[in-house]
């Protein structure tokens, strides 16, 4: 069995796409055993509860330094005997303790075609605003393995999405989520569960 932890910081539409994929049997012996949130009171926690998935909150502000925060996150992942960590809109930083223990077993979804519009500061709506400011006609999403370089790990899947002339950051974000992220993130997790990809 592949025990999956999904790390989130917000609404959790990507988490929902993973829950739906699991319900549809896409993950074979894979199971989401934990939702770990970096924030309190986000809707993703409700989605976990609605589906009987345990959730924990590990918020950076509750720890004196990055080392303690990193250690707390590592302890939760260890406690649930996690095999695969999925960053699904997780907007906090991972430290060396988590990366050291789970390196090669962490997937992230990024809302652009890496290496465009990625790296430090490129998250959420900032990514789509940058794509519109640049004037690209095609953007998309990328699933990649996580290493110590922000958005720098091995690419697993990408899917392109057209930019429309009247797009706003919000309308583009929605199209990238629905037409790319919610498709390729469950696909990548299913590939991992079948042993087809390794970091």
Q: Among all residues, which ones are annotated catalytic?
A: 110
Minimum distance, C-beta of residue 195 to ligand GAR, in the bound complex (Å): 25
| Nearer residue to ligand GAR within complex by CB, 84 or 109 | 109
Q: Is 88 in the site for ligand GAR (CB under 6 A)?
A: yes
Q: Which stretch binds ligand GAR (CB under 6 A): 22-30, 74-82, 119-127, 156-164?
A: 119-127
- Cα separation values, 176 from 84, 87, 110, 114, 138, Å: 24, 17, 10, 14, 10
Q: Is 111 in the site for ligand GAR (CB under 6 A)?
A: yes
Q: Which stretch binds ligand GAR (CB under 6 A): 55-63, 71-79, 103-111, 131-139?
A: 103-111
Residues in contact with ligand GAR, total (CB under 6 A)? 17
Q: Which residue, among 41, 22, 63, 12, has the nearest Cα to 186 in the 3D structure?
A: 22
Q: Is 13 in the site for ligand GAR (CB under 6 A)?
A: yes
| Nearer residue to ligand GAR within complex by CB, 68 or 187 | 187
Instruction: Report whether 3 contacts 84 (CB < 8 A).
Output: yes
């Amino acid at each position: 069995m592949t025990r999956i932890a999904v790390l989130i910081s917000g609404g959790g539409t990507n988490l929902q796409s993973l829950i739906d994929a699991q319900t549809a049997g896409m993950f074979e012996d894979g199971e989401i055993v934990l939702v770990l949130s970096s924030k309190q009171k986000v809707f993703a926690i409700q989605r976990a509860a609605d589906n009987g998935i345990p959730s924990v909150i590990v918020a950076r502000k509750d720890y004196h330094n990055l080392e303690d925060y990193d250690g707390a996150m590592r302890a939760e992942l260890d406690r649930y005997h996690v095999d695969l960590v999925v960053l699904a809109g997780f907007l906090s930083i991972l430290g060396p303790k988590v990366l050291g223990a789970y390196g090669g077993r962490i997937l992230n979804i990024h809302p652009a075609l890496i290496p465009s519009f990625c790296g430090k500061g490129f998250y959420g709506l900032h990514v789509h605003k940058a794509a519109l400011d640049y004037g690209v006609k095609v953007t998309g999403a990328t699933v990649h393995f996580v290493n110590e370089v922000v958005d720098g790990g091995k690419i697993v899947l990408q899917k392109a999405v057209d930019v429309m002339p009247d797009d706003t950051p919000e309308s583009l974000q929605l199209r990238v989520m629905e037409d790319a992220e919610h498709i390729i993130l469950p696909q990548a997790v299913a590939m991992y569960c079948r042993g087809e990809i390794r970091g």
